[in-house]
Amino acid sequence: MILDGHTTIEHNMPIAVLQDDIMQLWKRSQTAYTPTLIVNYGSVSGEYYWYQHTNVWEKERLMRFTPREVIDARSRHRTMLPEEEYINGHILSSKNLKRLSDAGVLVNMGAHGQIQGIGAHWEIWMMTQGGMSPHEALKTATINPAKSLGLDGNIGSLEIGKFADLLVLDKNPLEDIYNTEFIRYTMANGRLYDAEQMNETGNHPKPRTKFSWELYKNATAFPGTMKQQGMVADVGSINKTAGYLFLFRTPLWLLFGH
């Protein structure tokens, strides 16, 4: 693909160690690289590392902006793997990224859409697992992709004359890359939004509209508070008039007579 003139390579090469001939070819071609470690080829996908090491379903902001069934289905029934599977998987790929970056190859962050929002943070964090500094990892999500797409005249850095697209954080990601999660404001083309609720603020205050999945009433969007002995609160909902008990968020109904 590089010899054919592609300007970027998407997804990682499923090769453990890149030899010098590949490194030199990649560097001199000026072809950029978007490895997408979250679905790392040749090994277990990097996203499973974060399901195993964090309780994704407990992230309140994520749950506010994503349907419950999307998060639960991917995170609660998680696969547990030996750490060496990750070391020999996406972390080894990440080490290649560090080598390529040091050689002058533009490395970009691409989260693949597995889980919106948090997936982009995971991808940035995984860059550091291979040796990138927080500053280098942040460049993979900002100026590097802007240059790769030929848009660095408009986006990718904070400069006079560029679009006002930026994030305001409560904690410094240069000190700890995991601080990328602590976003207070998001600005898109000069319009400011509070990251907690995504209401527009600043010069044009306006509450956000509902997501499509918030517009229909079902047990997923509006969980009940039914509790029975041994049952966690908000698991399901109860409809006494219809005479049925809804216990699960999957299409399974337990019917009881009147």
Report pLDDT digits (tens) over 73-116: 889 988 899 999 999 999 999 999 999 999 999 999 998 888 88
**pLDDT the model gives residue 47:** 93
Q: Residue 206 pLDDT more than 60?
A: yes
CA pair distance 100, 148, nearest whole angstrom: 15
Q: Flag whether the pTM goes above 0.95.
A: no
pLDDT tens figures, 42-66: 889 999 999 999 999 999 999 999 9
pLDDT tens figures, 14-39: 877 888 888 888 888 888 999 999 99
pLDDT tens figures, 61-83: 999 999 888 899 889 988 899 99
